[in-house]
Amino acid sequence: MRTQRQLRVGEEIRHALAGVLMRGDVPWPRELKSPTVTVTEVKVSPDLSNATVYVMPLGGKMLAEIVRAMNDSAGFYRFSVGKAVKLRVVPKIRFVADETFETAHRIEEILLAPDVAKDLR
């Protein structure tokens, strides 16, 4: 169970990262051509020293490459968060692909399957 402080700090970091991505001053590799990325959630460790950032690119295209590129420039994001959010220690940032959309889609497919749908009626 996450504390109120963890939730609040995670939300502040999410807003700061969304602002950085929206401004477009991110050092993307040339092959990615500045993709549109959504920060869906930030989970902060209990000691506020680590933050796991869940991201999803628009359309889910090139997910692995985008996550790798973001992790390669994690120092840039940490510096940007440090300027935007007032914290004693800025947490180390690690980017992870958000798979909640895929999970929700799988659950929906299961619920719409004919043999499952007849039990739901």
Token representation of residue 102: 């895929």
Residue 44's contacts (CB-CB under 8 Å, 6 or more residues apart) are 2, 6, 9, 10, 13, 50, 51, 52, 91
Which strands make up the sheet holding 92-97, listed edge to edge? 37-44, 50-57, 92-97
pTM of the model: 0.85
In this structure, the strands spanning 92-97 and 50-57 are parallel
Q: State which H helix or E strand residue 104 sits in.
A: helix 100-112
Number of domains into which the chain is organized: 1
pLDDT of residue 117: 74
Domain range for 39: 4-120
pLDDT of the chain along its 121 residues, tens only?
A: 889 999 999 999 999 999 999 988 888 888 888 888 999 999 999 999 999 999 999 887 888 999 999 999 999 999 999 999 999 999 999 999 988 888 888 888 888 888 877 777 7
Q: Of the candidates 64, 76, 58, which has an alpha carbon nearest to the alpha carbon of residue 20?
A: 76
* Domain CATH code at residue 95: 3.30.300.20
pLDDT of residue 25: 82
Say how far apart CA 95 and CA 74 lie, in whole Å: 8
